[in-house]
Structure 1
Amino acid sequence: MRLNYILSDLGIGLKRNLTMTIAVVVTIWVSLSLFGAALLAREQVDLMKGNWYDKIQISIFLCTKDSGGRGCTGTEVTTEQKNRIKQVIEANPDTAPEGVFGESKKEAFEQFKKLYKDSPIVSTVTEDQMQESFRVKLKDPQRYQNLVSAVSGLPGVDTVQDLRQFLDPLFEALNKLQWGAVAAAGLLLVAALMQISNTIRLAAYARRREIGIMRLVGASNFYIQLPFLLEAILAALIGAAFACGTVWLGWYLFVKRQAEATFQVWQWVGPTEVFQATGVMVAVGLVLATIPTFVTTRKYLKV
């Protein structure tokens, strides 16, 4: 009997507030979709950082006759200078074991021709114009300043390049976009919270006499609140289901298919990360439904 009453009450509430309920569903759908996208964007940035930072190498370019670096004197780097540079690199505590690789002018030129094989610039460059270099892998890619400081300015060293100087601005921009998405999702979640509160408030106000009678005959607070709670949870679950479907579809179209069709230079978010994100989305949706319901209906429980 009680279950029949609760379900009947739920149906009446949904019919009375159908428009508001649809508005709640749509608001939760949009806000949770953006929230889930922000969660996946955060995971993607972390994966990209881990993938690229682990592969970061410091490139130490040696002097040629045309070099203008601090350690250059208008002449080619000498054998003694190269040996000294290599000793400093290998002696540095941040250099990984067997992490020093030399690249000759010939090897640099072959690599250059591969990279620009379809460009007319290849015919204008000769092997003598290439720079010899050392490629250094670090034990911890985060600790690169020590080695950069140790070799910069050594006789025979033209320039020292670290991939972080190119990657850090990229990741900084991605982080800003990520936090922008989080902020936008947060505003929409607040809007959803307010929408649910207004819907429940209107429903409770319309049935305030019934609530008063139930309270006088001894019905518990939770029993009176349950139909409103179920109404809010149903709207939240429908909105969350649409949002999860949107996130899965977006991942499939814009991540999975693109990753399969192109060369993967880094790891992409996969089904595990999407499952985790959708789980958080559903939990947030339920919180959005329960908290305003209990807060809003509490004042109508007093006789």
Structure 2
Amino acid sequence: MRFGFLFGEVITGLRRNVTMTIAMILTTAVSLTMLGGGLLAVRIADKTENYFMDRVEIRLYLDDDVSASDLECSQAPCQSLMSELKKTGGVVSVQFVNSTEAMKEATEVTFKGQPEMIEMIQDTRLPASLRVKMTDADQYERIFQTYHARPGVQQVLNDKEIVDRLVSIFDGLRNAAFGLALVMALAALMLIANMVQIAAFTRREEVGIMRLVGATRWYTQLPFLLEAVVAAVIGSVLAILGLLVARPMVVDRALGQLFDSNVFPHVTGDDIAVVALTIAPIGVVFAAVTAYATLRYYVRE
């Protein structure tokens, strides 16, 4: 097979249908960018869940009377609650945090750098709490049913609910990105099919002559398939560049403060690389399969 001839045919085909080629490249790029955004959302959601799951606690907030009168959890009902919790199956540790310690944590950790929030709570007595570390955060319901109505307990909360809400944000972004990617993929499919059919039609005489002198069907149709692949490769490169540009200009600007506050883990270069190595082959294979199917079922000569 003469590769010079094959290369020339591919370039000629791309130039001959330049507007459709550009449309296919851009459609493929947008489709893969949406797919890449969805995959990034999945990675951030997984990293967020893994980041917080080791820190998830069940918190038993004590009522005002207990919070004000028992600063060391040395009296009933706080002492008995702590004792029972430590004996409960699946409990790793139980930590008592009094009102003073809760306020210190709120001002120095939770709302650090947020003076308006600190001012809002500074005259408030924060409740004391028992922080329960479990082997499995899904055991929250059992702890809740056992302790939510006990004397001295004001409220039982589970940090996992907060983690689930954070993860659900990225689940929504993922679903939206995948939905847009699917729509764009259908558009790319139709563009590829049309481009291959038009290219084959405009060169039907050349193909006919080549077939008469003994060229195989595969040899005559390979340039059309490669045209689609080349366009997909260019679209994949543009999609990867789009993700690289979107990270500092869109993602970091929108979520930068949350990243810096360790609410969400950072989107790293490794994340972009993994996504790039996923979407590029998908784009190329998608284009190749679509072009082959078009040639196989619609171009008979």
Which TM class, normalised by the smaller chain length?
Answer: 0.7 to 0.9
1:47–1:268 contact (8 Å) kept in structure 2: no
Match of 1:268 in 2: 266
Match of 2:60 in 1: 60
The TM-score with structure 1 as length reference comes to: 0.85
Return the letter of the residue paired with 1:270: T
2:221–2:295 contact (8 Å) kept in structure 1: yes
Return the letter of the residue paired with 2:161: Q
Return the letter of the residue paired with 2:21: T
The TM-score with structure 2 as length reference comes to: 0.85
Return the letter of the residue paired with 1:41: A
Aligned residue among 102, 112, 136 for 2:96: 102
TM-superposed deviation, 1:263? 3.5
Measured on the aligned residues, the alpha-carbon RMSD in Å equals 2.8
Match of 2:154 in 1: 158
Name the CA shift for 1:120/1:210 in 2 (closer, same or farther; >3 Å).
closer
Match of 1:280 in 2: 278
In the aligned structure 2, how far is the partner of 1:276 from the partner of 1:117? 39
Aligned residue among 207, 215, 222 for 2:218: 222
Return the letter of the residue paired with 2:20: M
Match of 2:174 in 1: 178
Uncovered stretches (5+) of structure 1, i.e. residues with no partner: 68-74
TM-superposed deviation, 1:7? 2.3
Uncovered stretches (5+) of structure 2, i.e. residues with no partner: none
DSSP 3-state at the match of 2:234: helix
In the aligned structure 2, how far is the partner of 1:86 from the partner of 1:7? 76
In the aligned structure 2, how far is the partner of 1:301 from the partner of 1:65? 83
Correspondences of 1:51-90 after superposition (within 5 Å): 51-65=51-65, 79-90=75-86
DSSP 3-state at the match of 2:39: helix
Name the CA shift for 1:176/1:167 in 2 (closer, same or farther; >3 Å).
same
1:240–1:285 contact (8 Å) kept in structure 2: yes
DSSP 3-state at the match of 1:131: coil
TM-superposed deviation, 1:250? 1.6
Aligned residue among 206, 209, 213 for 2:209: 213
Could you tell which deviates more after superposition, 253-262 or 197-206? 253-262
1:103–1:135 contact (8 Å) kept in structure 2: yes
Name the CA shift for 1:249/1:123 in 2 (closer, same or farther; >3 Å).
closer
In the aligned structure 2, how far is the partner of 1:261 from the partner of 1:177? 17
In the aligned structure 2, how far is the partner of 1:82 from the partner of 1:170? 32
1:196–1:289 contact (8 Å) kept in structure 2: yes
In the aligned structure 1, how far is the partner of 2:44 from the partner of 2:260? 17
TM-superposed deviation, 1:167? 3.5
Name the CA shift for 1:270/1:130 in 2 (closer, same or farther; >3 Å).
closer
